[in-house]
């Protein structure tokens, strides 16, 4: 069931899609803006009053694409294997080196402070 507000929002989104198509066909700077207009149309569809009410009541997921009827699973694994994640030195080694350098720097600053005391 579609309300008057839903129809108005859908009409506005259709107009934005139409503008995005025309902008993409023109080329140049307007073609670069076509993607943004298409994204705006998609966002506008999420603002249908009936969808807002359904999300407020907990009847519709809050992160679902407009018009999608079911939750879609990811197409592949979401975590890379352990060997792909290995990049750079051990974080404990980096933290230890930073602590040591910071300590030495603090001692050097403190030592130089005694050379020129403030009156």
- Domain map (residue ranges) of the chain: 1-67, 89-119
* pLDDT value, residue 70: 47
- Span 24-70, pLDDT tens digits: 888 888 788 888 888 888 888 888 888 888 878 877 666 655 545 44
What are the structure tokens assigned to 91, written together? 């974080």
pTM: 0.47
Give the pLDDT confidence score for residue 103 in this predicted structure.
96
For 12, other C-beta atoms within 10 Å of its C-beta total 15
CA distances to 47, 55, 63, 74, 88 from 71, rounded to whole Å, are: 19, 15, 10, 10, 37
Give pLDDT tens digits for 59-112.
766 665 554 544 555 666 666 555 555 678 888 999 999 999 999 999 988 887
How far apart (Å, rounded) are the C-alpha atoms in residues 14 and 22? 12
The position carrying tokens 């890379």 is 80
DSSP state letter for 12 = H
Tokens 């139409």 label which residue? 18
Helix 49-57 and helix 4-26, axial crossing angle in degrees, nearest 10: 120
Crossing angle for the helix pair 4-26 and 29-45, to the nearest 10 degrees: 160
Polymer length of the chain: 119
């Amino acid at each position: 069931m579609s309300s008057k507000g839903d129809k108005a929002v859908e009409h506005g989104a259709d107009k934005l899609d139409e503008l995005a198509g025309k902008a993409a066909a023109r080329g140049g700077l307007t073609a670069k803006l076509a993607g943004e207009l298409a994204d705006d149309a998609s966002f506008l569809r999420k603002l249908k009053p009936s969808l807002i009410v359904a999300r407020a009541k907990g009847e519709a997921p809050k992160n679902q694409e407009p018009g999608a009827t079911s939750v879609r699973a990811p197409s592949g694994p979401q975590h890379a294997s352990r060997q792909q994640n290995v990049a750079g030195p051990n974080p404990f080694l980096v933290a230890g080196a930073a602590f040591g350098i910071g300590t030495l720097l603090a001692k050097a600053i403190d030592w130089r402070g005694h050379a020129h005391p403030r009156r």
